[in-house]
Amino acid sequence: MKKHIRNAVYRTLHYSGLSAALVKTAAKPFGKNSCIILVYHRIVDDSSVYLDKGSVVHHHLSDFVDEIPYLKRTFQILSMDDIVDRISSGEGFDRPTIAITFDDGYLDNYTLAYPVLKAHEVPATIYLATSLIGTSGKTWTDQIEVALLATKKRSIVLPFLYEGKELAISTVEQKRDLSISVAKALKEIPDADRRGRLLEMFRALEVRADIIEDPDGRLMLNWDEVKEMAANGITFGSHSHTHPILSRVPLLDAQEDIKRSKQVLEERLGQPINHFAYPNGRVEDFSDELRDYCQKIGFSSVATVIYGTNGTESSPFCLKRVGAVSPLWMMSGELMRYFV
């Protein structure tokens, strides 16, 4: 279906209340398989401080504020502990069900998302990349963004991209497109090579390391914020320690990185950490060995970003998730699609 026709259909179905009604009635044949785990990353309200990569990565607060009450009206919202219990016990889901998850551990999850979740008493899970928590460190994709926003250069040559062609970066759109292309290219190569190419890029942009690591520009949560949320209905899971693409590092290093993250979280929070989500999470970003390892060290679930619903047929160690799209009529239409 052409995009504009699809959007018109989504809008009509949403504003007439039909998409919500369809989810409720059409979910019956799906019965036990009607659980969608939504994945968010950042919740944002100031567009000058990031390069907008779409709603799954940069989700606007104004959309989030509309979505949470809608989701609460239309679906049953369960915690990840409950989702895993329902799957493992074979009980499944008697109603269309949603779980809300966030990857990485951004500060805005506390400042912007948490007040909304709390006001509506909605459970959520945040998967933390533990090495970044309580530091001014950033994920490597955020480092790319910060460097591109800070640079005075109007063009750049990167030997590893587009055969070294000179690329214009004088507008925000060009910077955003370049950040997406670089991230895409660097996700496909071994982790050790990725670090070298990043440094190469920062040198070419003539951006100082202290700008990339600016403590005033803290992007991630600190442990006080994590503890406060943990005491108030938010579940914390592991998203690895250093957030590499785990299939691009040697297996033993990847296992160590996962274990370290679980240990750090358990020490900091004084409770078992049951849930894990792979960084990036596509099929090519993990392996059977990593899945088995997560089970062996005591996780009760592992989440991917393979899109789809979950139910009694699913393995809790290969949960599917769905990206949180916006605005609300789009989310409502996309969620409906899984049930009709």
Binding site for Zn ion (CB under 5 A): 103-104, 279
Of 153 and 184, the one with the shorter C-beta distance to Zn ion is 184
Residue 8 Cβ, how far from Zn ion at the closest point, in Å?
34
Taking the complex as a whole, how short is the minimal distance between the CB of residue 195 and Zn ion, in angstroms?
17
Q: Where are the alpha helices (DSSP H) in 17-153?
A: 18-30, 61-74, 80-88, 107-108, 114-119, 140-150
Q: How far is CA 74 from CA 60, 70, 114, 134, in A?
A: 21, 6, 20, 36
Amino acid at 302: V
Separation between Cα atoms, residue 22 and residue 19, nearest integer Å: 5
Residue nearest to Zn ion (CB): 103
Q: Please, what is the minimum distance in Å from the beta carbon of residue 277 to Zn ion?
A: 7
CB 258 to Zn ion: min, Å: 13
Q: Which is nearer to Zn ion, 56 or 83 (CB)?
A: 56
Query: CB of residue 288 vs Zn ion: minimum separation in angstroms?
Result: 21
Please report, in angstroms and rounded to a whole number, the separation of the first and last CA atoms in the chain: 15
Q: Which two structure tokens, joined as six digits, stand for 331? A: 């989310």
> Can you list the pairs that 88-91 forms with residues at least 24 positions away whose Cβ atoms lie under 8 Å?
88/300, 88/316, 90/312, 91/32, 91/312
Nearer to Zn ion, 237 or 316 (CB): 237
Instruction: Tell me whether residue 279 or residue 333 sits nearer to Zn ion (CB atom).
Output: 279
Min dist. Cβ of residue 171 to Zn ion (A):
27
Please say which residue, 103 or 257, places its beta carbon nearer to Zn ion.
103
Q: Which is nearer to Zn ion, 27 or 220 (CB)?
A: 220
Residue 170 CA to residue 18 CA, distance in Å, equals 45
- Rounded CA-CA distance 12/1 in Å is 16
Shorter beta-carbon distance to Zn ion: residue 41 or 60: 41
Show the DSSP H helices in the chain as ranges: 3-15, 18-30, 61-74, 80-88, 107-108, 114-119, 140-150, 172-187, 191-205, 209-212, 223-230, 251-269, 288-296, 328-337
